[in-house]
Amino acid sequence: MRRPWWTLGFLAALLASIMATLCTAQRAVDQYMGDWQGTVTVGGKEQPVAVFMIPLGNGRYEMKCVSEFNKRVPVLYDVRGFLRNGEFRAVDAVPLDVSRVLAPTDNGVVVDVSLWSGKLVDGTLQGTIAGKIKGTFKLTKTQRTSPTLGQKPPAGAIVLFDGKSLEAWQPRSGKGKVQWRLVGGDAMEVKGGDIVTKESFGDIKLHLEFRTPYMPTSFGQARGNSGVYIQGRYEIQVLDSYGLAGLDNECGGIYKVAAPAVNMCFPPLQWQTYDITFYAPRFDAQGRKVANARITVVHNGVTIHDNLELPGITPGGISKKEAPTGPLLLQDHGNPVQYRNIWLVKLK
């Protein structure tokens, strides 16, 4: 007997659509994740403070604060029950440094354990600080944006992806079709293996935009991992490294070569930019390398690598040998990272 058209495939597709909508809605209502700024008042002295609210899942966040009275080490807080009626209590946890954190003394020793408590009122976090150091705080949500976000390709640029087609790309193996899928917002999403451009390039100026996924219960290399390989050989890491130290294997790092000068990573789900100037290694007539490759990387409008010399390739590329030219490679590391607005200009 023939089954009605709406029973199997239709219901499965409908369920998948509903689940996707619910997941999107869940991410959209995370009103706490991201950047906050405001003031902390201690001992009658008001100081500016910036806060990174890093999602850990299940209503928990890591709250990293940097202020004028805490210059040496960022404070880390494990915030529990933060979503309950907008109230929260934060007790500091082990910081990046081995010392306890809140205020440095004259001899450089960082002391005190403090308790932050407060409530979200009309979009403002406000409350008190208890412990040996007592005070108040007031924070409002803010958002940094890249000055080159949405930048259009200039005349003569080679457009590698405009949101409409994957024609400029092929699987890393060179066989079959690209499995990455086109998604909303003129973007493509990682799926089914690394992809490389069909064309190879030497000296270039590259612009691309990326967005890391919302993975609050994943950590380290399992949290929004991908990578941009210039010439398929030199990786600039893509990762959800929001609020982290900024290492060579974190966002903006050149893997195994150099850490970014500053961690410019935005929160997950926010579009970010890389603007990269690359000069390929030079070779003599006999094919011997006479000059290393050099790279400048601007992450979200800030230079994090300035004319950095690359002594050799980084792991995971298409070849162990350097060359005058090579394709652009985007890495599939198993996470649904998205890319859009990719174009480059060949440099003379």
Specify whether 294 is located in the same domain as 179.
yes
CA distance 136 to 116: 9
What is residue 127's predicted lDDT score, i.e. its pLDDT?
83
Three-state secondary structure readout of 179-200? CCEEECCCEEECCCCCEEECCC
**In this structure, are 279 and 203 located in the same domain?**
yes
The more confidently predicted of residues 221 and 48 is 221
pLDDT tens digits, 177-214: 999 999 999 999 999 999 999 999 999 999 999 999 99
Find the domain containing 242 and state its range: 158-346
Task: Specify the amino acid at residue 277.
Answer: T
- Are 305 and 260 contacting, i.e. CB atoms less than 8 angstroms apart? yes
Are 165 and 262 contained in the same domain? yes
DSSP H or E stretch at residue 47: strand 45-57
Q: Are residues 259 and 332 in the same domain?
A: yes
Residue type, 99: S
pLDDT the model gives residue 130: 75
Residues with Cβ < 8 Å from 219, sequence gap 6 or more?
Answer: none
| Phi, psi (rounded to 5 degrees) for 54 | -100, 120
d(CA 132, CA 111): 9
pLDDT at 82 over 90: no
Among 247, 245, 248, 251, smallest CA distance to 266 is for: 251
* Mean pLDDT on 14-23: 44
The pLDDT of residue 80 is 39
pLDDT tens-digit readout, 204-220: 999 999 999 999 988 88
SS3 for 115?
strand
User: Do 79 and 129 have their domain in common?
Assistant: yes
180 and 132 part of one domain: no
> What is the average per-residue pLDDT within 250-274?
94
Q: Has residue 81 been placed in a domain?
A: yes
> Does 128 map to a domain?
yes
Q: Please give the C-alpha separations between residue 164 and each of 182, 270, 329, in angstroms, as whole numbers.
A: 8, 21, 19
Mean pLDDT computed over 4-26: 45
What mean pLDDT do residues 332-344 have?
97
Residue 6 has pLDDT above 90, yes or no: no
Q: Confidence band (pLDDT; 50, 70, 90) for 268?
A: very high
pLDDT score, position 96: 28
Domain with residue 312: its CATH number is: 2.60.120.560
Q: Which residue has the higher pLDDT, 295 or 126?
A: 295
**How do 115-121 and 45-57 pair as beta strands?**
unpaired
Mean pLDDT of 261-268: 92
> 138 with 94, same domain?
yes
pLDDT of residue 7: 52
Give the span between the Cα atoms of 178 and 165, in whole angstroms: 11
DSSP classification of residue 84:
G
CB 133 within 8 A of CB 257: no
